[in-house]
Amino acid sequence: MKNCETMLRGAAIVLVGWIALFALGGCTVTLVQPYDENLFDDTEAFYKKASAMILDGEMVSPLRDDDRAKILNPKTHTGHYSKFEQRYQDLITDTDLLILRATANYQTVDAAGAAAQEKANQAIEEKIKNQCPELTGRLRDVGLTAANYVDLQCLIITWQKQHADSEFTENTHILKKANWQGRRKNLFDAVLAIQRAEAFKKKN
């Protein structure tokens, strides 16, 4: 899980490093996609939607393991996975749309920039393949911006798997409040890393 939490910050650092490297060499290449205001706004909308799910989950979930163990019929409980399954799917669809938009703008990056981003993508793919192996193929030829959204999608998929996992939830498919609280921080850090990278483009 730690990889998914920190990957976006790492990607942003790698991107800035490549920009600095080419600037010092006096090269005038297009290393990054242009700032996309709609993509920036859509990311904020995604954050609000995911935050609403987290808040709802925290409100209906038990505080401790023993509280959860006392639930007689977990399937009818408001914190059960079945009550959140569609919301996870909606968030995954939202990240698909973000990936599509970011990928569509990748054509503005020239060959030198694409080569630099490919190195960063390889680093992200290496980290993500163990957490979300089904997503690693999506990192090829999408550009660093879209790769960041693939990483964000991995975070949501990981949450969904945990909520649906019998072992993780002690055979209840119900999370604890602490699980949701941890997710709030993970979401904030991930989206902040993306928005900082986009804001950097706007300044340059």
DSSP 80: B
Distance, CA of 121 to CA of 190 (rounded, Å): 17
- Mean pLDDT computed over 88-103: 92
Say if CB 126 and CB 138 are below 8 A apart. Answer: no
User: What is the pTM for the complete model shown?
Assistant: 0.77
Burial class of 65 by CB neighbour count within 10 A (0 to 12, 13 to 18, 19+): exposed
**What does the block give as tokens for 193?**
């890393």
Distance, CA of 122 to CA of 111 (rounded, Å): 16
Distance, CA of 155 to CA of 173 (rounded, Å): 18
Distance, CA of 73 to CA of 28 (rounded, Å): 64
Say if CB 200 and CB 81 are below 8 A apart. Answer: no
Residue that has been written with the tokens 């990607």 in this structure: 11
Lowest mean pLDDT among 65-79, 133-147, 153-167: 133-147
Is residue 104 predicted with pLDDT exceeding 90? no
Listed residue (147, 187, 195) closest to 50, CA to CA? 187
How far CA 80 is from CA of 4, 61, 68, 167, 178, in Å, comes to 24, 9, 11, 14, 15
Residue that has been written with the tokens 């408001």 in this structure: 78
Q: Which residues pair with 174 in a beta bridge?
A: 80
Domain boundaries, the chain: 2-203
Say if CB 156 and CB 91 are below 8 A apart. Answer: yes
The 3-state DSSP class for residue 22 equals: helix
Indicate the average pLDDT of the chain: 79
Distance, CA of 55 to CA of 114 (rounded, Å): 39
Distance, CA of 21 to CA of 143 (rounded, Å): 18
Residue-wise pLDDT for 15-63, tens only, equals 444 444 444 344 444 445 667 788 889 999 999 999 999 999 999 999 9
Query: In which band, very low, low, confident or very high, does the pLDDT at 131 lie, cut at 50, 70 and 90?
Result: confident
- The DSSP code sequence of 66-112 is HHHHT-S-GGGSTTBGGGTHHHHHHHHHHHHHHHHHHHHGGGGS-HH
Say if CB 145 and CB 32 are below 8 A apart. Answer: yes
Residue that has been written with the tokens 């038990």 in this structure: 62
